[in-house]
Structure 1
Amino acid sequence: MKVVNSLPRVYLAAGRLALKRPWSYQSCIRQAASFSTAQGAGDRHEGHPPTAPPFAVSDPSSAAEPRFVASVHRALERSGMARIKLAFPDPGSRFLEELVCSFHAHHGHRLPITHSASRGWFWDVRPSDGTVIPLQTAHHRARSETMADFPWHTDCSYEGAPPRFFGLHVLQHDRYGGGTLSAMNIERLGAALSPEARRALRRDEFVITIPPEFIKDRSKTSIVGNIMAGGDGGGGGGGDETGSVMMRYRRDLLEPTTTAAARALRELDMLLDGSAGGGNLAATSTVHLKASDCQAGTIILMDNRRWLHARNHIRDPERHLRRIRWDAIPFPQE
């Protein structure tokens, strides 16, 4: 299905490649149509990545209802994605906040992390030039505060303990067809890399710069570490019992420190931009969530270590999402 706005190169490759009243579980959750992909529902084939199972919620108290919380948690564990559609207004994102606290209470997730020295659990993802809408970190404009596309990345790749999950509450979707959110399966991406590249990416041979808007300690502006873990018998670590491949990645923050690291990063770049078979990889491992899939009132939950995500150009200056990140665990090292 063609997206309204023209897509940047990475998307072209991917296109190829406890409240008071009682709550009734059965009445508040139902299955809906699955996410659409670049090929459209009619063109899906065996091997296409799993799409997030959507839940329709009509009662705010479901965020604290154990059976509902367990169902969403199972969806996250199974595919690394879940989508929730709220049938009630929630301008303060209280449902999302309470749901994450329920994951903490019932499923052992760590509580959310703060976004910076000046921001708490929530971060508003919306265009801002610092005038009409003030910047959330003084004098520093985050990439999420622009209308530009945002290539493949994981959240908080610059943290020693990146959050395992993030959630996005859509307060206003892009009414003009922009802001498509894409997600690429990291397990399949890792399998497409050469053994040499995987070994190099698992070594502590990368400087990862901390963006100015997310610095929490002024004396610390970067970290050194690996950007891939697990796979090839490496073990998952960090509370991950599957031993599956996981990544922390944002290309503009990475600087390899050895020849082998630079070579491995080039190979990864070629896969992500559609070269070296990257088109075929993306076609079977990428999900595209258009604005029509994620209208106002939608909540998207994603496993930050199992999926890379990206966003194309925003067309609607009033597009507004609210983000939360939680369950921060030290990134595994070899």
Structure 2
Amino acid sequence: MEEKYFQLPLGTRFTAPSRELGLKMKEGFALALQENGVAVIELGFQDPKSDFMLELVEAMGCVPDTHSHTQGALWEVTYKPSGVISTKTGTTAHSRSHDVGEFTWHTDASFEARPPRFFGLHIVHPDNLGGGIFCVLPAGNLVEALSTRSVEALLRTEFDIQVPAEFYKGRTTNKGRLLEIDAATGHYLLRFRRDILASPPSTDPEANAAVEELTTLLDNPGTTGWRFPDDVFKENVILLMDNARFLHMRTEIRDKRRLLRRVRFHGPN
């Protein structure tokens, strides 16, 4: 099947020549994120600890979310067999973002009581061996392919969603709808990660059928989404995305030195 590449909308690709100028461009980044759900910022300066990404999120008036009781706002997406310590178990927990396997279609932090609306990735070291390909799938495209009955069931049903041990903040489960509609824009908003749903997902047969239709659609080889081009998803680029308007996935990692830093954040108050 022919690979499809994500075409960045006009006004979503930027260059920040310096830290100071980058912070002054915050309104443009915020507008791109609001209107198109994506902003790509190529940094013209070195930022080995990804401090600028965190500064930018705060300068935009947004609120960074902590990843867990033991991890702060910045999370390393990299091969990390040692894992992290979970305050739920007191032992090591292993995140999908720390292994090398494919990570199928999902939205970030879908297990939270209030999932962060946005996330940022600072590409410190891309996979230079052809793996770790980042792909996106607009929520609207996916919902339009679902039956009306499934859409209605997903809009009305609250599901029990399990919190992975590595992201424990005091609750082991949260309830939430997998699909909502943004009242201001009419955009479909998704939260989804199949491996943290209960089995069966609900006591409602129609809701279970809707989840099955959704996962079947995502498993269809024709549901490939759009790959980010290598000249976009490259070293020292920051990618800001709407976490509810797009699902994302990554292919198997081949270069174990691949390192991204992630921040999850809520919109301005």
Query: Equivalents in 1 of 2:10, 2:220: separation in Å?
Result: 22
> Per-residue CA shift, 1:3-55, capped at 9, x if unaligned?
xxxxxxxxxxxx66xxxxxxxxxxxxxxxxxxxxx3359xxxxxx78488321
> Per-residue CA shift, 1:88-122, capped at 9, x if unaligned?
11011121111101111xxxx3x101000001110
* AA aligned opposite 1:146: D
Higher strand share: 2
1:95 aligns with 2:88: no
Q: Which of the pair has more CA radius of gyration?
A: 1
Partner residue in 2 for 1:198: 151
- The answer to whether the 8 Å contact 1:161/1:328 transfers is no
Partner residue in 2 for 1:274: 220
Query: Equivalents in 2 of 1:212, 1:62: separation in Å?
Result: 39
Query: Equivalents in 2 of 1:59, 1:184: separation in Å?
Result: 32
Partner residue in 1 for 2:174: 223
1:150 aligns with 2:107: no
Query: Equivalents in 2 of 1:50, 1:265: separation in Å?
Result: 31
Number of corresponding residues:
261
Offset of 1:309 from its aligned partner? 0.4
| Paired residues for 1:1-334 under 5 Å | 38-39=3-4, 50=9, 53-65=12-24, 68-104=25-61, 109=62, 111-130=63-82, 135=84, 137=86, 138-217=91-170, 220-230=171-181, 236-237=182-183, 241-255=184-198, 256-257=201-202, 258-274=204-220, 279=222, 282=223, 286-327=225-266
> RMSD of the alignment, in Å?
2.1
Distance 1:86 1:135, change over 3 A: same
Query: 5+ unaligned residues in a row in structure 1: which ranges?
Result: 1-14, 17-37, 42-47, 231-235, 330-334
TM-score by length of 2: 0.90
For the residue of structure 1 that corresponds to 2:31, the secondary structure is: helix
- The answer to whether the 8 Å contact 1:177/1:290 transfers is no
Query: 5+ unaligned residues in a row in structure 2: which ranges?
Result: none
- The answer to whether the 8 Å contact 2:5/2:227 transfers is no
- The answer to whether the 8 Å contact 1:125/1:320 transfers is yes
Offset of 1:293 from its aligned partner? 3.0
